[in-house]
Amino acid sequence: MNPRDEQVRDLIAAQALEWFTTLRSGELPAAQREAFIDWLRASPAHAREYLAVSAFVEDFARAAEQLAPPTETLIMHARAEIQADTVRPLFPDAEQRTTCARETAHRPNLWATLAGLTMAAAMTIFLAIWWLQDRSTYSTAHAEQRSWRMPDGSTVHLNSDSAIRVNFDGEHRQVDLLRGQALFQVAKDPRRPFWVRAGETAVKAVGTEFDVYRHKQRTLVSVVEGRVAVWRLPDDSFSSQVSRVLEADVETTLAQPLAQLSAGQQVRISHSSAGVSDRADDVRKTVAWLQRQVVFDHDSLGNAVEEFNRYDQLRIRVDDPALRATEISGIFSAYDVESFVHFLGRQPDLRVERVDGEIIISTATQAHQ
């Protein structure tokens, strides 16, 4: 398992533990129960991790893992137990628990065994359904980051306040980035290119790792590994064209791509312009959110504040246009807004004030007028 896969598993495990604790704390509102079901159905990995932290379903998890024999074999096993007038443990670690039961009537034990098998089979069926079904929409709330394994084996990491809609079938793989930022680790499948649409931007990949960040005024596509092709769509009609686009030769449908990107490259696309960067540092800066960091390299203060406002309920505000254009550089923890505010407060020409639950950044002269 590579380090990134370990990070994904650790994140899912932490989410499972949080949900388990929440569910055991008492009755939940309907909205929260629905949120738990959505999380559980999003990926088999979620179900597995939840089972792992729940003592109540440990037996079900072991059954699901060991339920290899077909139904006919299980029936034969049960009949053999009846004939032998004994019950043998289905799982090795159950040996001690069934020792005292051997001298009791076989029928109650048989029914208990069959009940356990039924529950385990039901759990296995549910896992299969979660794996095969259309996942539709994945989303994160403000200041939340999550990762999912998608039906084709690809992994998506969603940054704060982001959402995607997934449409996979036997021939096509399409993801619509509805808002925010997502990093995709695409499972190779040459027969089904992997498409991402973000507003007027379309990205095509086969097997690669890339990040798409949909801002209000621009879209940023950054390639970590492999290659992608990027198009600017003539309008917002890609959804109505998508079946024809994916079934036909994309080069003849949408003409030549705007850019062909390799690892370490990114393209910034707006309504009126597009520019390709070959600086690997730009890509590392864009995907720093995976390490819960924000990196600024001569970025405007306005953009820096907007980035920080994605990760904390405490909002920062800069009203002066000239001040918003001031350049800033540094590496900060995305979820440590106080360190960022402290950094700004140490700048001689800036003043930091807390007003009505907001942090207001102004110039020192403005603050004293």
Residue 18 binned pLDDT confidence (cut-offs 50, 70, 90): confident
pLDDT above 90 for 266: yes
| Distance in angstroms between the alpha carbons of the first and the last residue of the chain | 59
Confidence at residue 25, expressed as pLDDT on a 0 to 100 scale: 59
> Do 40 and 108 belong to one domain?
yes
> Do 119 and 170 belong to one domain?
no
Distances (CA, A) of 352 to 309, 317, 340: 16, 10, 11
Calpha distance 361→369 (Å, rounded): 14
Number of domains in the chain: 3
The answer to whether residue 285 sits within a structural domain is no
> Do 317 and 214 belong to one domain?
no
CB contact set of 72 (below 8 Å; sequence gap of 6+): none
Confidence at residue 116, expressed as pLDDT on a 0 to 100 scale: 56
Q: What is the pLDDT of residues 29-76, one digit of tens each?
A: 666 777 778 778 777 778 777 787 775 344 444 444 454 455 455 455
What mean pLDDT is reported for the chain?
A: 77
% of the chain exceeding 70 in pLDDT:
67
Comparing C-alpha atoms, which of 295, 289, 333, 304 is closest to residue 11? 289
> Do 171 and 273 belong to one domain?
yes
Range of the domain at 23: 3-132
Q: What is the pLDDT of residues 111-149, one digit of tens each?
A: 555 555 555 555 554 554 444 444 478 999 999 999 999
pTM: 0.62
**Contact by Cβ (8 Å): 156, 164:** yes
**Contact by Cβ (8 Å): 228, 203:** yes
Confidence at residue 334, expressed as pLDDT on a 0 to 100 scale: 93
Confidence at residue 53, expressed as pLDDT on a 0 to 100 scale: 73
DSSP letters for 102-125: TTS-HHHHHHHHHHHHHHHHHHHH
Distance of CA 282 to the CA centre of its chain: 22
% of the chain exceeding 90 in pLDDT:
42
Residue 261, SS3? strand
The answer to whether residue 210 sits within a structural domain is yes
Confidence at residue 246, expressed as pLDDT on a 0 to 100 scale: 42
> Do 92 and 154 belong to one domain?
no
| Segment 177-196 mean pLDDT | 94
Where does the chain have alpha helices with state H?
3-24, 30-41, 44-53, 58-66, 71-84, 95-99, 106-132, 238-247, 250-254, 280-286, 301-308, 321-324, 337-345, 364-368
DSSP letters for 290-323: GGTEEEEEEEEHHHHHHHHTTS-SSEEE---HHH
The answer to whether residue 287 sits within a structural domain is no
Calpha distance 194→65 (Å, rounded): 31
Q: What is the pLDDT of residues 288-344, one digit of tens each?
A: 999 999 999 999 999 999 999 999 889 999 999 999 999 999 999 999 999 999 999
> Do 80 and 148 belong to one domain?
no
Residue 13 binned pLDDT confidence (cut-offs 50, 70, 90): confident
Residue 155, SS3? strand
The answer to whether residue 286 sits within a structural domain is no
> Do 81 and 212 belong to one domain?
no
